[in-house]
Amino acid sequence: MNYYQQHHAEYLEGLKTFLRIPSISTLSEHKPDIKKAAEFVRAELEKAGLQQAQLIEGQGNPLVYAEWLGAPGKPTLLLYGHYDVQPPDPLDEWKSPPFEPAIRNDNIYARGSADDKGQTYILIKAVEGLLKQHGRLPINVKFLIEGEEEVGGEHIESYVATKPARLKSDAAVICDTEMFAPELPTICVGLRGIIYGELVVEGANHDLHSGVYGGAAPNPIQAIAEILSTLKDREGHIRIPGFYDRVVAPSAKERAAWARLPFDEKEYTEKEMGAKALVGEPEIPLFERLWARPTLEVHGIRGGFTGEGAKTVIPARALAKLSLRLVADQRPDEATAQLQKAIAAACPKGVTAEYRPIHSAPPSLVNPDNRYIQAAAEAMKQVFGKETVYIRSGGSIPIVAAFDEFLGIPSVMMGFGLPDDNLHAPNEKLHLPNFFRGIEAVARYLELL
């Protein structure tokens, strides 16, 4: 048993403590938990033997920073993770409570287990293990852990933009993505961007009797439906003028690599998603739809009567939450302007429709031809015993684009989640063998560099 294997029980206890803190960034009543989680991470970094462990307060939730710079002349890695989590609802679908970590079948179930507390903890424990064993690290590290990734917060971005000297590094390492399949070491080299906002539609200035006024009064919920179906057709093509102009198609080499990935479409559809059929642009292969094409999704519609029984009313106003995922080289500001224009053009008579942006992030693509990604692929291969595959992901990690833009460094996305980890959903889990191997793979990575 190596050092890391001897400490499994301790890592598990530490992770459980972390997972018990309900650090939900989107709900303001959880501010004290955000603080607690930040403080937990700070204390762990200090305990691991890092220096300068501190909270960086500013607008929004605290960042946590720590460093170890005792290897002059050696590379410096910027290690990134996030301690905030998504809300746990719907609560009644959890088999065990979201903030009481429970172990079943080699998995630890809790909100944040995979996204991203478990993976952030992997980075901390990997570094701690090297420091405890050797009293030093083979390279330099700077930790930057944030608390508003799940709400597209701007704090980290402005920090990165204004403190390039302090954060100066050769590459960023991010453990916040997934492996393509169990046991298959994976590096993610592309993420989608996003624009997220709400569509507010207003009709009459008060609710109206639907019998007395129906046939004459504008209906904001109907208007939302009409606007949305103008924006995206039944085959999944987005009908916003100019929207696809900057979309870059994947290279032939990338397409060919994706086609070789081990994949069972029926299992993906019926087991992993629990859906009846796949949808989306029929002429585009699945992985390209997920990783290299933009999307438009509605997340919720509020308005009118949704209580028990029946109420005949024409609501005065309605609201839809929606987002568009973006791919290289689309730009959030331009896409927002295009969307607003398309909404104005699609808005039916008798209502006003306004799109209000909530947050946004640019897409990112990383060129894997550098020693930082190559060494990560090799480290994962050594620990998992299989050749590492390169994929993209449809999700977004806003800071990746900022690391590129403001620090000029590539992001090495070595993730240890699994496709069925239920991110953002009930019964989120982390596969424990991945957690432990992840720690060893990151440690191996630092040694290889």
Q: Do 66 and 46 form a contact (C-beta atoms < 8 A)?
A: yes
Q: Do 82 and 43 form a contact (C-beta atoms < 8 A)?
A: no
Give the C-alpha separation, 208 to 164, whole Å. 56
Q: Do 376 and 423 form a contact (C-beta atoms < 8 A)?
A: no
Q: Which stretch, 100-108, 114-122, 214-222, 358-366, contacts Mn ion (CB under 5 A)?
A: 114-122
Give the C-alpha separation, 185 to 383, whole Å. 9
Question: Which residue has its beta carbon closest to ligand BES?
Answer: 395
Query: Residue 177 binds which entry of ligand BES, Mn ion, none, with Cβ cut-offs from 5 to 8 Å by kind?
Result: ligand BES
Q: Do 432 and 440 form a contact (C-beta atoms < 8 A)?
A: no
State in angstroms the smallest separation of the CB of 444 from ligand BES.
22
Give the C-alpha separation, 372 to 303, whole Å. 50
Residues 6+ apart with CB under 8 A from 310: none
Q: Do 42 and 55 form a contact (C-beta atoms < 8 A)?
A: yes
Query: Residue 194 binds which entry of Mn ion, ligand BES, none, with Cβ cut-offs from 5 to 8 Å by kind?
Result: ligand BES
Measured from the CB atom, is 14 or 152 closer to ligand BES? 152
State in angstroms the smallest separation of the CB of 368 from ligand BES.
16
The sign of the CA dihedral 126, 130, 136, 137 is negative
Measured from the CB atom, is 108 or 139 closer to Mn ion? 108
Give the C-alpha separation, 46 to 89, whole Å. 33
Q: Which of residues 168-197 bind Mn ion (CB under 5 A)?
A: 176
State in angstroms the smallest separation of the CB of 122 from Mn ion.
13
Q: How many CA atoms lie within 13 A of 332 on its CB side?
A: 19
Among 44, 67, 115, 148, the residue binding Mn ion under the rule CB under 5 A is: 115
Query: Residue 361 binds which entry of ligand BES, Mn ion, none, with Cβ cut-offs from 5 to 8 Å by kind?
Result: ligand BES
Query: Binding of ligand BES at residue 397 (CB under 6 A)?
Result: yes
Q: What angle do CA 316, 321, 327 make, to 5 degrees?
A: 145
Q: How many residues bind ligand BES (CB under 6 A)?
A: 17
Among 44, 116, 146, 421, the residue binding Mn ion under the rule CB under 5 A is: 116
Q: What share of the chain is helix, strand, coil (3-state, %, to 5)?
A: 35, 25, 40
Give the C-alpha separation, 191 to 174, whole Å. 12
Among 79, 373, 423, 432, the residue binding ligand BES under the rule CB under 6 A is: 423
Residue 249 phi, psi (nearest 5)? -75, 150
Give the C-alpha separation, 50 to 124, whole Å. 10
Tokens of 411: 């992001």
Query: Binding of ligand BES at residue 146 (CB under 6 A)?
Result: no
Contact letters for ligand BES, residues 375-394 (x by CB under 6 A): ------------------x-
Query: Binding of ligand BES at residue 361 (CB under 6 A)?
Result: yes
Q: Which of residues 80-119 bind ligand BES (CB under 6 A)?
A: 115-116
State in angstroms the smallest separation of the CB of 174 from Mn ion.
9
Query: Residue 190 binds which entry of Mn ion, ligand BES, none, with Cβ cut-offs from 5 to 8 Å by kind?
Result: none
State in angstroms the smallest separation of the CB of 152 from ligand BES.
4
Q: Which of residues 169-198 bind ligand BES (CB under 6 A)?
A: 176-178, 194
Query: Residue 112 binds which entry of Mn ion, ligand BES, none, with Cβ cut-offs from 5 to 8 Å by kind?
Result: none
User: What does the binding site for ligand BES look like in residue numbers (CB under 6 A)?
Assistant: 115-116, 149-150, 152, 176-178, 194, 359, 361, 393, 395-398, 423
